[in-house]
Amino acid sequence: MFAVVDIAGQQFKVEKNQTLFVHRLPGEEGAAVAFDKVLLVADDAKISVGAPYVAGTKVSAKILSHLKGDKVIVFKKKRRKGYKKKNGHRQSFTKIQIESIG
């Protein structure tokens, strides 16, 4: 059984007991979160597609940790003009574990 869920503006294909990294979610570590924007649910031979969401279905998950991703370096340069600009960024992520679909 799997589902396609909209979490923080991105779509993820999730299954039970799967861990994944999503954009930073509010909440403490160990807290439970529920996502009700379920776009598709597939259970063996039966597939339910929402318009836009599947009614009465939600995915529950547990927040495992909050962390930051790898640093991304942004470097801009215009040749022969003496223009150089260096900037860095680290995205904030939340690691979650899917507990149930239904």
Q: Give the chain's end-to-end CA distance (angstroms, integer).
A: 10
- pLDDT of 90 reads 97
The structure's pTM equals 0.83
* 43 sits in which H/E element: strand 38-43
Task: Output b/e per residue, 62-76; b: 16+ Cβ within 10 A.
Answer: bbeeeeeeeeeeeee
- pLDDT of 79 reads 97
Say whether pLDDT at 102 is over 90. no
Six-digit token string for 73 = 């370096």
The answer to whether 59 touches 32, Cβ cutoff 8 Å, is no
User: What is the greatest pairwise CA distance in the chain?
Assistant: 63
Q: Look at 17-26, 42-51, 93-102 and tell me which has the smallest mean pLDDT.
A: 42-51
- pLDDT of 23 reads 96
Mean pLDDT computed over every residue of the chain: 96
Say whether pLDDT at 40 is over 90. yes
* Percentage, residues of the chain above pLDDT 90: 96
Q: How many CA atoms lie within 13 A of 62 on its CB side?
A: 8
Q: How confident is the model at residue 26 (pLDDT cuts 50, 70, 90)?
A: very high
